[in-house]
């Protein structure tokens, strides 16, 4: 199963011209990480669609909010150097967050994300990092099981935005039928 610009716009109508930019890189990333069935593609597109504001935000919008301020000094994220919280804020279609995740993702993708974290704002790396994250968290298995809430928890750490994520998922399942 593959995704086209037309199908993507039916699922994520606010993606606009970005849909055409992302389809080729989505195709490559999803194939590489086994996101190839209807259930997997639908769940993946719904989650990345929500996380990125339908491909409009490849970098976490920074307030900083109370939660974002809490990134600073979080050793579980590998943020051990002053300024890491802001430097390694969420980037990519699934927001890779924290120095430790940037290191792991960079190693997997062959990128120096520690010194050049902004690379995750480029469509090909934003997409590949999301597919890598998806794969390393066992989300294909959860998609196969239809456990969308558990997928959301693994991506978000909670269920923030669940209603929007589920609406996108429902639309993706319909469009990809």
Candidates 51, 107, 118, 121; catalytic one? 51
**Separation of CA 8 from chain center:** 15
Tokens coding 170: 């429902």
CA distance 118 to 33: 23
**pLDDT tens for each residue of the chain, 177 residues long:** 889 999 999 999 999 999 999 999 999 999 999 999 999 999 999 999 999 999 999 999 999 999 899 999 999 999 999 999 999 999 999 999 999 999 999 999 999 999 999 999 999 999 999 999 999 999 999 999 999 999 999 999 899 999 999 999 999 999 999
Residues of the chain with CATH 3.30.20: 66-120
Q: Is 51 a catalytic residue?
A: yes
Taking the domain 66-120, which CATH number applies? 3.30.20
Residue 59's DSSP bridge partners are 91
CA distance 176 to 3: 8
Are residues 23 and 2 in contact, defined by beta-carbon separation less than 8 angstroms?
no
The predicted model scores a pTM of: 0.95
Please give the torsion angle defined by the CA atoms of residues 177, 133, 66 and 159, in that order, rounded to the nearest 10 degrees. Answer: 40
């Amino acid at each position: 199963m593959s995704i086209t610009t037309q199908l993507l716009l039916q699922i994520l109508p606010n993606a606009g011209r970005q849909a055409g930019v992302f389809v080729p890189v989505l195709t490559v990333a999803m194939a590489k990480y086994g996101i190839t069935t209807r259930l997997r593609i639908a769940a993946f597109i719904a989650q990345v669609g929500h996380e990125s504001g339908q491909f409009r935000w490849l970098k976490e919008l920074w307030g900083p909010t109370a939660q974002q301020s809490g990134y600073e000094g979080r050793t579980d994220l590998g943020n051990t150097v002053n300024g890491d919280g802001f430097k390694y804020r969420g980037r990519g279609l699934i927001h890779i967050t924290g120095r430790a995740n940037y290191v792991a993702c960079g190693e997997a993708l062959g990128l120096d994300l520690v010194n050049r974290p902004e690379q995750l704002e480029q469509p090909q790396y934003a997409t590949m990092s999301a597919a890598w994250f998806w794969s390393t968290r066992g989300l294909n298995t959860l998609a196969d099981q239809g456990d969308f809430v558990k997928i959301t928890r693994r991506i978000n750490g909670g269920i923030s935005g669940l209603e929007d994520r589920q609406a996108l998922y429902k639309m993706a399942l319909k469009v990809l039928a």
